[in-house]
Amino acid sequence: MRAIDYFDRGHDIDPARTALFDTESGEKLSFAETKAETERLAAALQKNGFGNQECLALYAPNSAQLMVVLLAMWRANGKWIPVNIRNAIDANAAYINYVRCEWLVFHSSLAHEVDELRALCPGLTKLVCMDKALDGVPSLEQFVGSTTAADFVEPEIDAFGNMNELVGIFPTGGTTGPSKGANVTNLGWGTMIETAADAMGGRTDHPVALVSAPITHAAGPIALSTLSLGATQVILPGFDAEKVLRTIEEQRVTHMYLPPTAMYQCLASPQIDKHDYSSLKIFILVGSPCSPEKLRVAVETFGPCMCQGYGQVECPMIITWLPPEVVAAAARGDHPERLASCGKPTRSVKVGLMDDDGNLLPVGEAGEIVVRGVLVSHSYFEKPEATEEVRTFGWHHTGDVAKRDEHGFLYIVDRKKDMVVSGGFNVFTTEVEAAITELAEVRECAVIGIPHEKWGEQVHAIVVGQGIDEAAIIAHTKARLGGVKAPKSVAFVDSIPRTAAGKMDKKALRIPFWGENARMVN
């Protein structure tokens, strides 16, 4: 099926149910109204020359209108080009030029940035401003004009739902260089939506999903997954811990997604004990490993709703799944080690752990997570060499290192590039970070390797926290993990730098120690 077919599936459950609630504007749209709006906008796109499988970029904060534009683009059978408003202008421009995108729909609050993008992207010629007309750029209302939903012409669809056509070209992140574009087909995207919906559904007849992370990132596909279940999307313009906590109670939210770092901010909020979270059925963490101790506290705070998915752009969101029942049991002391797990492989993929020579490894040995199945993206856009490299030995290589226990649970221990080699010993930084964040005084922690004349690298921790010193952190970690893995130095900071996707930017953290070296190891 196509992406829009999953929205339509949710529509058919109850067309009168509210699909989108914009908390900023107060706008509410039923599934029927949302469908009609997407058909009207898709017709306007067609009328104005938007071709089948043409690229369209969205550049705006979260809103119900943004969600409508995204759905309309898919209804017109376009390819989504996610553009993260947190990215540097140069990075966004480079990606738009790389995929040769001509269409951009944006919000006027970002007009200055769009002017900069236009100066850097000569091919970006077809622009629409969502909320008002700007200097020769029509507003969305002007763009649609007198077009009606009846003017929409359904693209030609084959019996297989155009499974090999693209739903989008998604940037890979670019923490180690310019982003590559992952060509994601309807087949792969549909597999992700169905797998995620199966994992998250069935717990309530009245699902209400909170959208506070950027729709232009992981929150977009998660919203589509819950829309397919008939869930109302309660949309915040952006993440704010206090607003998130208040909205859960006010709107009786049942489903929500946050990256772990945002969940940590919620736990640290002074408002955390002032709201009722009993409506929550699914609180999914995706994007980076979660501190086991913080996850345990989250279960105590939000109830038996916490769960995790593991994936990446090239194999999105749900390679593995750790369901709320397992997390809740682990928080009670039944296999507590599973709080550090990313779960078991889902039915959509075959997962293995591989060494550098292409050998699949047994239980207990650490190796790179490799994946096979239709969840894997088709290729990198116009990068055949990079595609071939990431598919070595006939598997997709994730770059993440993990171990598997005798029950089939996977435990991510590091990114291959983040592993510290100190005195010939491999130190997995996520293991050290998990130990340090057990301390109540520590809010966040990033561990990196820094140069050392004798050992090659030494373990260095960067900590956000209060009421604790370097010696206490080192002593605690040494007691938990031993002297080799314990940090030899600790720096305290107010905040840890993030990538545009919200992940810890370890490349930026290494630069003061390594400079701009491409190879930040000794």
- Region of residue 350 (left: phi > 0; alpha: psi -120 to 50; beta: else): beta
Give the per-residue pLDDT at 413.
Answer: 81
Extents of the domains making up the chain: 3-238, 419-522
DSSP single-letter state for residue 394: G
**pLDDT band (50, 70, 90) for residue 516:** low
Upper half-sphere CA count for residue 112 (Cβ side, 13 Å): 1
Helices 292-302, 324-331: inter-axial angle, 10-degree rounding? 100
Give residue 260's pLDDT band: very low, low, confident or very high (50, 70, 90).
Answer: confident
Q: Which residues contact 332 (CB under 8 A, 6 or more apart)?
A: none
C-alpha of 289 from chain center: 12
Q: What is the dihedral of CA 122, 167, 309, 68, to 10 degrees?
A: 80
Residue 122: partners with Cβ closer than 8 Å, 6 or more residues away: none
List, for residues 422-439, the tens digit of each pLDDT value: 766 778 788 899 899 999
pLDDT in tens, 154-177: 998 888 888 999 999 998 865 444
Tell me what the pLDDT averaged over the chain comes to. Answer: 92
Structure tokens at 47: 């009328």
Q: Which residue has the higher pLDDT, 323 or 290?
A: 323
490 or 504, which is more confident? 490
Give the distance from CA 304 to its chain's centroid.
22
Is residue 267 over pLDDT 70? yes
The predicted-structure confidence for 277-318, as pLDDT tens digits, reads as follows 999 999 999 877 788 999 999 999 999 999 999 998 899 889
pLDDT at 522 over 80: no
pLDDT tens readout for residues 194-224:
999 999 999 999 999 999 998 988 899 999 9
pLDDT value of position 424:
63
Cα–Cα dist 460/203, whole Å: 43
Question: Which of 73-87, 246-260, 405-419, 475-489 shows the highest mean pLDDT?
Answer: 246-260
Decide: residue 152, CB within 10 A, 0-12 exposed, 13-18 middle, 19+ buried: buried
Q: Please, what is the end-to-end C-alpha distance for the chain in angstroms?
A: 49
Indicate if the pLDDT at residue 412 is higher than 70: yes
pLDDT at position 392 is: 95
Q: Which residues pair with 449 in a beta bridge?
A: 459
Instruction: Give the integer Cα–Cα distance in Å for 378 and 180.
Output: 13
Residues 381-410: what's their mean pLDDT?
95
Asked whether residue 107 carries a pLDDT value surpassing 50, the answer given is: yes
CA 502, CA 492: separation in Å to the nearest integer? Answer: 20
Lowest mean pLDDT among 1-15, 270-284, 491-505: 491-505
Q: What is the pLDDT of residue 242?
A: 97
**Is the torsion defined by CA of 479, 480, 482, 486 positive or negative?**
negative
User: What pLDDT is recorded for position 150?
Assistant: 95
Third-level CATH fold of 419-522 = GMP Synthetase; Chain A, domain 3 (3.30.300)
Percent of the chain with pLDDT over 90: 76
pLDDT digits (tens, 9 = 90+) for 39-88: 999 999 999 999 999 999 999 999 999 999 999 999 999 999 998 887 77
Residue 459: predicted pLDDT:
93
338's CB contacts (< 8 A; 6+ apart) are 322, 326, 327, 329, 330, 409
pLDDT tens, residue by residue, 108-132: 999 999 999 999 999 999 999 999 9
Average pLDDT in the 165-193 region? 85
Predicted pLDDT of residue 288: 75
Helix or strand run (H / E) with residue 511: helix 506-514
- Looking at the domain 3-238, which fold is it? Rossmann fold (3.40.50)
472/436 Cα distance (integer angstroms): 10
The predicted pLDDT at position 373 comes to 95
Average pLDDT over residues 84-106: 91
